[in-house]
Amino acid sequence: MQPKAQTMIDVDIQLASEHSPLPSNEQLTLWATHALSPFKAEAALSIRLVDNDESQQLNFEYRGKDKPTNVLSFPFEVPPELAGVDEIGHLIGDLVISVPVVAQEAIEQHKTFEDHFAHMVVHGCLHLLGYDHIKDEDAEIMEDLERQTLAKLDIADPYFITD
């Protein structure tokens, strides 16, 4: 099932990683579009692909955790002086994804790199929309949305664990 035809999701992709392989711009845009289109007819976001040093620096600066992490989400808040400006209204925020962390997690979790990366984009996009997983009830809602979105992309349940 494809996202609605009238959906306009604008993804600015920033490559700041030396890691290989990287997902294509088309893949990143497809994954973000699938995550956002059920909620937004129009949205703009940035996805920055980084290495561990930048991820660790940002994770420490914004979350107080001195280690790289898979995805950081930075929701955009409209400054009061820009409220009502049409172009600003569609900005939802930025995702910063550590390619080496995602690649290592994919190996550890026995998933393909592409499937796990898609999950991280979907997960991050849901954070930009205000979803979180701090409380168990909220985690269930977010995980169900992730499962539904990934299923539309023919990606298996990322939370299903095999022995």
- The tokens describing 26, both together, are 């088309």
- pTM confidence score: 0.90
CB within 8 Å of 47: residues ≥ 6 apart: 11, 12, 13, 14, 28, 32, 94, 95, 97, 121, 124
Q: How confident is the prediction for the chain on average, in pLDDT? A: 91
Q: How confident is the model at residue 85 (pLDDT cuts 50, 70, 90)?
A: low
Stretch 23-52: mean pLDDT: 96
Q: Of all helices (H) and strands (E), which one includes residue 89?
A: helix 86-89
Alpha-carbon distance of 21 to 103, in angstroms, equals: 9
pLDDT of 82 above 90: no
Q: Is the pLDDT of residue 3 over 70?
A: no
pLDDT in tens, 51-71: 999 999 999 999 999 999 999
Q: Average pLDDT for residues 19-31, to the nearest whole number?
A: 96
- Backbone Cα Rg of the chain: 16
d(CA 72, CA 88): 21
pLDDT beyond 90 at 23: yes
Look at residue 89 in the predicted model and tell me its pLDDT.
63
Q: Is 25 within 8 Å of 13 (Cβ atoms)?
A: yes
List, for residues 148-162, the tens digit of each pLDDT value.
999 999 999 999 866
High-pLDDT (> 70) share of the chain, %: 88
Question: What is the DSSP secondary structure assignment for residue 111, as one 8-state letter?
Answer: -
pLDDT at position 90: 83
> What is the model's pLDDT at position 1?
45
Q: Which amino acid is at 138?
A: D
Mean pLDDT, range 127-134, rounded to an integer: 93
- All structural domains of the chain: 8-152 (3.40.390.30)
Task: List, edge to edge, every strand of the sheet that includes 42-50.
Answer: 8-16, 42-50, 91-98, 71-75
Structure tokens at 135: 């409380």
